[in-house]
Structure formats: structure tokens, C-alpha cells
Amino acid sequence: MAWKNIKYEVKDNIGWITLNRPQKLNAFNDALLRELDEILNQAEMDLEAKVLVFKGAGRAFSSGQDMSGIGTSEILHPDPWSRVTPKELLEGERRRQRRWEYIMNMAKPTIAQVHGYCLGAGLFLSMVCDITIASEDAIFGDQVTRMGILPTMPLWPWMVGMKKARELLFTGRNIPAKEAEAIGLVNKVVPASKLDEEVARWAHGIAQHHGDALAFAKDAINGVMECRGVGSAFRITTDLQMAVLQRPTKSEDLAFYELRDKKGLKAALEARDAPFKNFP
Amino acid sequence: MPTGFGWDFRTQYQKCQWENHEYKGRKYKDALYEKVSDNIARITLNRPERRNAFSDGMFNDLGAGLHEANDDPDVRVVIIRGAGTSFGSGHELSSPTEEESPPINPKLNPTGVDYYGLERRRCGKHEDIMNYPKIIIAQVHGYCIGASEIVAQMCDFVIAAEDTQFGVRGFGRFTFGIANWPGFWPGESQKAWCGHLLGEISGKEAADGGMITKAVPFAQLEEETMKWANIVCEMPPQILFFAKEWLNVIADISGISTAWRQHYAEHLMLQYVHFRPEEVSMYKVRRDIGLKGFITSRSAASTPDAEVK
């Protein structure tokens, strides 16, 4: 099967999954998602791939969901004016959520190798990976609350605690790699020139261990999180997002999608972030 | 003196605590309410001569202020701060016996139900602050101890002066259960745990540990707080309510409601403690050498080698 938006290669027991839309900063669209689903199926069953590494081609890990609205009906929730039944809305939200939960629960260790932008869905991918190693130039964040949508990654409070989760999600601010490391989003930060070597070192080191032991160790940790309710947290996230998407909008809400369709995605993103320009 | 506390309480499933306190025509005294701008309300805890220790009057004025801000459709964020040298030094331990702020005096001969009802009311206030539908920012300086620390932690953002003192030796924050620090809930890293829960920590240490939002030099505190308040005001209306509800639900799923109940029960059990002769008993020491003497002797008992200030 020839994949275009993702490259997959297994070498020395490491499965290298490279997001490959560099001209779009590896933004997730439906085509990329389809390929990702196929590759994950294959990678999960491939006993030769003991550790999976996710990385991005070009300048960034991933800038998140493709907000263009073109070929994005699976990755994005429906536009506010589209006539979608609540059932379709719920099913779409569930699929979006379950993918992250599935990656989190894959029976082999996963590493996110992050450089450049790691935003939105890109950040979700990094968060559901077991380990994240980033270069010093990496930037992490999720601006989705600025657009009036719930950030649909319930791992936030688990990973960074309630205070940092509130701070980052209620303001939508981006943070540099060192700050992400300090608050627990990232395991290690290295100079950009050392990133490939550092990730390879970790991946090969982990791959030395017996595959079953790795699978059980990971499952034990995820089992503890499950006891604490992470599965229910994914579920409630879907349900609350439904409430958010169906709420009556007010005139002071940013009309992001209207602006995008009239003036283009760049203008819409600028309007979204303009009030926060001076906020670090 | 009525001791039927247990029958008078309202649970969080009925009116929220702040809705019990009317604000129409109210003369705020122990906490002051003002609108800093159309979208920002500010409540100033106002017992500086007592380092803003929580009396019943202060809790009532705080509740009324939250009620007023909640009903004002223009208000998007509430700031809570303290007048004078501190944010707050906890519950007012010198309150009159009939008030609910200090521990119930055994002289009132309360039943277990009375104790539990009181704890539920006392902690219900804190829980209601955590579940408040609008964003609250705690602007913290000086002492932030005990119940004042809990109130600050219930807020969505905590902006503190770097030299703030959170907690006090002999009391810390581990004593009264996990609900004191939703700052780390449910992250619970080693960074936030154990050593940081026992004694005093500074604003800077709390920020470094991820337990508060940010620490700045005291001279910049007000400006920094307003900066965050203004950012919050730029966010789309309603979304922060849903985002806050979402995070609180996640905390609920992972057990925080049970932790609150454990907190009530723990407080209650502590009321029944029988002190051994060598242990520091608040009632006895406060009776013999006053409140200040009790606080000093408690600190000395917990860290006997430390210099007692």
C-alpha cells in the first residue's frame, strides 16, 4: 500500500512513523488520518516493530488539525451551520476521541520526536505517546478555546496538574520546550542537532527489553490510570464537546468559520490570536 | 446556643453557598466587592488587623460578592485578594464560640452529626468556589495559610508574590487531606508531593512545583493579576464555563468528591482526638498562654531544631 501523507519504515526493531505533509506543517486532514489508521493497524501487529516513533517531516512535528475545511470532515467537527444530527455528531466525536485513546493503549512503547510546532491534534499525539523528546525550538499549545471549542484531550490534568491545565487551556497560550519539560509534558529537551540521535538512543534502549514485558508494564500503568477514571474522562470529554458545539452562539463569539470562508484561513487564525498578541 | 448544626446545612445539590448570601443593598464590610471594569469584579478580604482570618462575617461577604458577580451578566472573571499584609491566615480561631469559623468548642457538647454538618458547611463553601461557573483568580501575598490556602487553591488561577508563605510549620497542607491541593490533582508528581505538603513553601517554590499559576515580585503582583484577568476576558463567552466544568468533571471522575467526603470525616475525627500530655492541644494551650502562644508552641513542636520566629 503506497502511503502519501505518512511514511512508515521498520528498521532495527523501531517503527518510524513520519507525518508527511510538510507543506502544511503536517496538519492532520482526513487523508492523513486514513493512512494513520492503516499504519497503526499494521504497526500494532508487526512484532519486528518493538517501539514506535512518531515524528514530522519538514519544519514541524504537527500544527494540529487542518483548519482549511477542505477534506477535513473526519478530523474536524462539523461546521456550525451544517445539518448534522446529534447522533452523527456524537459518533464523529467518539471516533476522534477513540483514536487518541487507542494510541495511548497500543501494546508497545511509543515515542513522540517533536520539533517545531506541536499544536492541537499534534499535541494530542504527543500526549498519548509514552515518551516525548523535543528539540529546544519546539512549541506546544492548543488555541482551540479561543475559537469556542473544548480542548478534547482529558490527559491534561493527569500530566501537568490542575493549575497548569487551567492556565494553558483557559488562555490558549503556547509554551516553549523547556517549560513543557518543566511541567511534565516532555521527558527531555535537547538541541535540534541532537534530536535524531537522542530519540534513536532511547528507542533502541527500550527495544532491548522483551516485547511482552514492555507491553505488560505499559498496560499496568495505563490500568492504574483507568482505575482513576481516564476512560470515563475520555467519554465525558465527548459528551461535553457535544454540549459546546450545540450551544447558542452570542454576537461576541468569534465567527471563525465565516471569516475563514470569506477571507481565508490565515486571516481567521490571525483574528483568533490577535487579542492575545502581547500575552506570552 | 443551638447545637443542631447538622439540621441546618444545605448540600451542594441545593443552592450553592454563595447563593445563600443576598447582595442587594448589602453593606460589604469583612470582604469588599467592586467592579474593576465591566468584565472584572474584585473581592477584597477585609480584616487586615487579623491578617484576613476567615470569620463567619468574611465568609458571608465573600459569598455575597461571588453571588453578585455570578448574577452580573457582564462579569467574566472575579479576582479575590487580601487587604493589608496577607491574603489570609486561615479560619479565625478566636471567633466567638457560637460562630462556625473556629473548630467547634467541646463546651457546646456537639454530637457527631453536628460536627459532620459543620464540616460539610465549612468545606461546602470551598467546593462551591471550585465549582463556581465563572473564572476566579486568587491574587496572593503575605501569609496564605489553612482555609485561606484552600480558598486560593479552589480558584482557577493563583498569582502570588514570590515571597508569599503558603502554609505554616506544624500545619502544612497534608494534615487535612488531599483536597487541599487540587493544584496537583490528579497529577501527583513527586515534585508536588511529600516534602512540599508538610511545611511552609514560598510563592516561588509553589510556582516551580506547578501548584500555582505564577509567582512574581510583590511590586508586580497587581499588574500581573490584571494581565491574566484581561486575557481571560478576551476568551469567547461560555467556553470557559464548559472548559472549567470539563476539568472539574475529570477531577470528579478521578475521585475528588470522595476526597472531599474523606476530608469532612477526617476533620470530624480530629475533633475527637484525646491529647497525650506531651502533645500540643490547641484548647489547652490557647486557654493557658493565648492563641499566639499556641501557634508558636505548635511550630516549635513540629520542628524542634528550627529557629522559632
Cβ contact, residue pair A254, B246, below 8 Å: no
Q: What contacts 24+ positions apart, CB below 8 Å, involve B2-7?
A: B3/B108, B3/B109, B3/B110, B3/B111, B3/B114, B4/B114, B5/B100, B5/B104, B5/B110, B5/B114, B5/B115, B5/B117, B5/B118, B5/B121, B6/B111, B6/B113, B6/B114, B6/B116, B6/B117, B6/B118, B7/B117
pLDDT at B194: 55
Reading the block at residue A106, the C-alpha cell is: 497500543
Using alpha carbons, select from A186, A139, A183 the residue that is nearest to residue A165.
Answer: A183
Contact (CB<8Å) A228/B254: yes
CA-to-CA distance for B105 and A201, rounded, in angstroms? 63
Task: Give φ, ψ of A63 to 5 degrees.
Answer: -85, 5
| Residue among A150, A184, A252 minimizing CB distance to B187 | A184
Cβ neighbours for A140, distance < 8 A, ≥ 6 positions apart? A114, A118, A119, A123, A126, A134, A174, A175, A176, A177, A180, A185, A186
pLDDT on residue B179: 45
Check residue B171 and give its pLDDT.
Answer: 66
Of A163, A252, A279, the CB nearest to B158: A163
3-class DSSP state of A166: helix
A233 and B253 in contact by Cβ < 8 A?
yes
Chain B hits for A160, Cβ within 8 Å:
187, 210
For B134-191, how does the pLDDT look when each residue is reduced to its tens digit (9 = 90+)? 999 999 999 998 889 989 988 999 999 999 998 877 666 654 444 445 445 544 555 5
Question: Which residue of B239, B244, B252, B258 to mutate against A (max A Cβ within 10 Å)?
Answer: B239
Is A150 in contact with B192 (Cβ distance < 8 A)?
no
Helix B146-154 with B112-130: angle, nearest 10 deg:
40
Contact (CB<8Å) A148/B236: yes
Please indicate whether, in this complex, the C-beta atoms of A170 and B211 are within 8 angstroms of each other: no
Tell which of A166, A245, A247, A257 to mutate to test the B interface (max B CBs under 10 Å). A166
pLDDT of residue B177: 42
Residues of B in contact with A233 (CB under 8 A): 249-250, 253-254
Question: For residue A88, which phi and psi values (nearest 5 degrees)?
Answer: -65, -40
Our measurement of the distance from residue A77's CA atom to the centroid of its chain's CA atoms, rounded to an integer in Å, reads: 15
Which chain B residues are within 8 Å of A279, Cβ to Cβ? Answer: 227, 231
Mean pLDDT score of chain A, rounded to an integer?
92
> What range does the domain containing B100 cover?
5-273
In a domain, B307, yes or no: no
pTM value surpassing 0.90: no
d(CA B84, CA B29): 15
Specify the CATH number for the domain of residue B208.
3.90.226.10
**Cβ within 8 Å, pair A229-B210:** no
In a domain? residue B264: yes
Residue of B nearest to A242 (CA): B242
> Which of A123-127, A267-271, B122-126 comes out lowest in average pLDDT?
B122-126
Q: Which amino acid is at B170?
A: G
Nearest to A160 among B187, B253, B255 (CB): B187
Q: How far is CA B269 from the centre of its chain?
A: 20
**Is the previous residue joined to A151 through a cis bond, with omega within 30 degrees of 0?**
no
B135: chain A residues, CB-CB within 8 Å: 170
Would an 8 Å CB–CB cutoff place A159 in contact with chain B? yes
Splitting chain B (309 residues) into consecutive groups of 10 residues, what average pLDDT does each group show?
Answer: 41 70 95 97 98 95 97 96 96 83 76 79 84 96 91 93 87 50 52 62 86 94 97 89 91 81 75 72 80 80 62
The ipTM assigned to this model is 0.81
Distance from CA of A275 to the nearest CA of B (A): 7
The count of CB pairs under 8 A between chains A and B is 130
Cβ-Cβ contacts under 8 Å, B249 against chain A: 233, 236, 240
- Rounded Cα gap, residues B171 and A169, in angstroms: 33
How near does any CA of chain B get to the CA of A254, in Å? 7
H-type alpha helices, B155-281: 195-198, 203-208, 221-234, 239-253, 256-271
Domain contains B107: yes
Contact A244 B242 (CB under 8 A): yes
> Rounded to a whole number, what is the distance in Å from the CA of A277 to chain B's nearest CA?
10
Among residues of chain A, what percentage have pLDDT more than 70? 97
Domain tally for chain B? 1
**Nearest CA distance, B184 vs chain A (angstrom):** 4
Domain ranges of chain A: 6-249
Comparing CA positions, the residue from B162, B127, B164 lying closest to residue B143 is: B164
In a domain, B248, yes or no: yes
Mutation site, A150, A170, A254, interface B, largest B CB count within 10 A: A170
CB-based contact A228 B255, cutoff 8 Å: yes
* A108 contacts A44 by C-beta, under 8 angstroms: yes
Between chains, do B253 and A236 touch, taking CB under 8 Å as contact?
yes
- CATH number for the region A6-249 comes to 3.90.226.10
- Give contacts of A187 with chain B, Cβ < 8 Å: none
Of residues A156, A164, A253, nearest to B236 (C-beta): A253
| A157 at interface of B, judged by CB pairs closer than 8 A | yes
Are B247 and A169 inside 8 Å of each other by CB? yes
